[in-house]
Amino acid sequence: MAIREILTVPNPVLKQVSKPVAVVDDAMRALMDDMLETMYDAPGIGLAAIQVGEPVRVIVMDLQEKPEDDPEGEAVKKPRYFVNPEIVWKSEDTAPYEEGCLSVPEIYDEVQRPARVKLRYLDYNGNAVEEDAEGLFAVCIQHEMDHLEGVLFIDHLSKLKRDRAVTKVKKLTRNAA
């Protein structure tokens, strides 16, 4: 496993539409392993392959939770893998959530998304899965699936807020170099 570079705005690769994965094989699993290690290192809760420069329809996610019997303890890792995910149903009711993104560091803003979705995807081993998502899971999967279409969460904001975010990230990355 290797930690990969996470692309940041305004890198044009982030605007590419990702291609479907033909088969979940060892090479694809190696990519997912690298993505997961990269996400944990960042740290983040979700990462799309395009964010590490791979234009394929793959997402990793871990919505870690603290153990109920030890709220101060270490979060339990629960990695999830989504290959060729698609939303097959979404609720009409929406919910606001303050989102951030590893490709838009240090920027957070509220985005309205469907409160519940049903999705279909292939797992780490290529098995077909269909499940419902709500709460943070619904927000995160929709956010990451936007990446597969070349859409960033700041694209849901006003032009002024989006431009300010890109300017701030450019300045951050310039100062970090």
Active site residues: 144
Q: Which residues have C-beta within 8 Å of that of residue 38, sequence separation ≥ 6?
A: 3, 4, 6, 47, 52
Concatenated DSSP letters for 79-92?
A: -EEEEEEEEEEE-S
Unique residue bearing structure tokens 């990355």: 173
Helices (H), the chain: 26-41, 135-148, 159-176
Unique residue bearing structure tokens 């701030």: 168
